[in-house]
Amino acid sequence: MTTRRDPFTDVERLIEQITRQLETATGSVSGEEFGDESEYAPVDLVEYDDEFVATVDLPGFERSDISVSVTDHMLRIAAEREEATEEHGEDERVLRRERRHESVHRSLSLPDEVDKDGVTARMNNGVLTVTLPRLEAESSREIEVE
């Protein structure tokens, strides 16, 4: 039996690839302005029979720094942390400061609608895992003709 490929899946993948390349080349991430300090967060999106699972590396971010939102066909992940500021005594001086304000924004198209109420997000050792159950397709029902 031959399985038909969905041509829109290929188009969506191509658009995602072009978007990533443009974001990398211009420093623009998900529609953010040029020069924004947003970083690109690599995402793995895996499709299972009953759910999608997105895995994002967010090292250095706390749970409270992360925002996850879902619409019918879109997953949005944002994370933001403030610049590390530490008080130093008079006899101390900072030789190097590389920890700074950082923000990450990603938007992913989902091939099917998801059950927004069933979505879960877990952060473990700097890795965010978002589980998105598929919305159960409405089953057909037999209508009795009167």
Tell me the domains of the chain and their CATH numbers: 7-85+97-133 (2.60.40.790)
Side by side, the strands of the sheet bearing 43-47 are 43-47, 51-57, 127-133, 120-124
The DSSP element (H or E) to which 55 belongs, if any, is strand 51-57
pLDDT at residue number 126: 93
pLDDT at residue number 35: 38
Residues of the chain with confidence (pLDDT) below 50: 28-37
pLDDT at residue number 37: 46
The pTM assigned to this predicted structure is: 0.63
pLDDT at residue number 84: 67
Strand partners, 55: 44, 129
pLDDT at residue number 11: 80
